[in-house]
Structure 1
Amino acid sequence: MKSRSKRYKSSASSITSETNNLSDALIALQKFDPVKFDESIEVSVSLGVDPKQSSQAVRGTVNLPHGSGKDIKVLVFTDNADEALAAGADFAGLDDMIKKVKEGWVGFDVALSTTSAMKEVRSVARVLGPRGLMPTPKAGTVTDDLATAVKDVKSGRVEFKMDKTGALAVLVGKRSFDHPKLLENAQAAIDAVSSSRPEGFKGKFIKNVHISSTMSPSLAIDLN
């Protein structure tokens, strides 16, 4: 069994309630014993869908009102690299970028693609897909409006995707954020997940929600 640190155990012992409203959970989270770096904060959601059914797959994006606090590296697959770089992309190109990815390079956080470039980009689906980096229209990462897409990603658009267990996690900020900013970001994330309910799905969509930082215990959220 994995041994927990004294800091983790101390934080866990301070949890006084089995469930919390979102605001109280964030207050408690920010009072946990700190570590030496600015931890990321994530909302984790367990869904009631059947992950084996493709019709019940859950994927989407959320524009965090106050950004994610993370420096996002953006790659754009496009024939017009100059336009993408001018829009703020960190890397841009087509054949040269595809070649680098095939060689194992994944030094970016988000990949965007123009519509016309997708025919070539599909050749690296086996590399990008398992890492959640493959551009898709549903996630808004296949677009011909590169300026808007790059700006949205850089300013705090976060993608979420259900895993094979029916769970997903959404980055909502950093522990150093002010409480009101974290609260707005976390609520926006929960609202976005709630809105991604598959069409025709019957039953309880969201089973439970937890929030945690990189090195902390998680706190259960009472959505009621």
Structure 2
Amino acid sequence: MPRQGKRYRADLEKASKTPVSLVEAVNRVKSFKQTKFDQSVEIVMHLGIDPKQADQLIRGSVSLPHGIGASKRVIAFCSDELVEDAKAAGAIEAGAEALVKKIEDGWLDFDVAIASPDMMRVVARLGRQLGPKGLMPSPKNDTVTPKVVEGVKDFAAGKVEFRNDSGGNVHAIIGKHSFEPGKLVDNAQHFIATIEKMKPSATKGVFVKQIALTATMTPSVIIEHE
């Protein structure tokens, strides 16, 4: 078992063992010692869903009020007439057959793939390359959209994608450690509200079981939630 560092142990003493308000949770994470890099702040929600049931899966995307303090490398599968507009909006690559071929040859240096609906017949060939890495465009998280240029702009600016894992947890970055506390609170509240609205009708009992806030190299702080 890896030995916890001195900084982590010191931070652990500040992390409450009992749930605290969202504002207090943000303040505690902010009070943890800074590192040489600006850590990402992440929210984790443990949901009362059955991940094995297709009608209870949680997946989507959301633009947070204050962004997340980072841009993403976005590509766009689109018609030739939209290529230049997509690149102007922030896409590092855009196109159809040529872009598919580039990925088939092994290029995967991007974070998000956007596609217009008519391009999915071409993109379908990339299921083996993109599917296992979670990069396959999908209407469920707004990466398949007729408004390709707008989609590129949103995701390049840091629009957050999320999906539950096999344990029923949803993870998402909500900002940076350097953010003002109020901005982290706003982003967290917006994300929590987004997930709450997505409660599947098939889910029984408590939907949101626990919420925690953490930074890249810090302990987590449990948030009070009714």
Specify the TM-score bucket, using the shorter chain as the normaliser. over 0.9
| 3-state DSSP of counterpart to 2:141 | coil
State percent identity of aligned pairs.
Answer: 39
Which structure 2 residues correspond to residues 137-176 of structure 1 after superposition, within 5 A? 137-176=139-178
2:125 counterpart SS class: helix
Aligned mates of 2:164, 2:2 — CA distance in 1: 26
Q: Distance in 1 between matches of 2:107 and 2:47?
A: 33
Tell me, what secondary structure is at the counterpart of 2:202?
A: coil
Which one of the candidate residues 217, 222, 225 is aligned to 1:223? Answer: 225
Q: CA RMSD in A?
A: 1.4
Map of 2:26 onto structure 1 = 26
**The residue matched to 1:121 in structure 2 has which SS?**
helix
Gaps of 5+ in 1: none
* Secondary structure of the structure 2 residue equivalent to 1:97: helix
> Which one of the candidate residues 170, 191, 194 is aligned to 1:192?
194
User: Secondary structure at 1:131's aligned position in 2?
Assistant: coil
In structure 2, the residue matched to 1:91 is 93
Query: Post-superposition, which runs of at least 4 consecutive aligned residues in structure 1 deviate over 6 A?
Result: none
Where structure 2 has 5 or more consecutive residues not aligned to the other structure, the ranges are: none
CA contact (8 A) 2:16 2:221 kept: no
Shift of 1:86: 2.6
Aligned to 2:73: 73
Letter of the aligned partner of 1:99 in structure 2?
K
- C-alpha change, 1:62 and 1:149, in structure 2 (3 Å) is same
Cα offset, 1:123, TM superposition: 1.3
User: Aligned to 1:211, what secondary structure does the other structure show?
Assistant: strand
Letter in 2 for 1:40: S
After superposition, the C-alpha distances for 1:75-97 in whole angstroms (9 at most, x for unaligned) are 10112222311332121112222
Indicate if the aligned counterparts of 1:208 and 1:220 stay in contact, CA closer than 8 A.
yes
1:121-140 equivalences under 5 Å are: 121-140=123-142
- The code of the aligned residue for 1:35 comes to T
Q: Secondary structure at the match of 2:91?
A: coil
**TM-score in terms of structure 2 length:** 0.94
Give the letter for the 1:119 counterpart. R
CA distance in 1, matches of 2:194, 2:100: 32
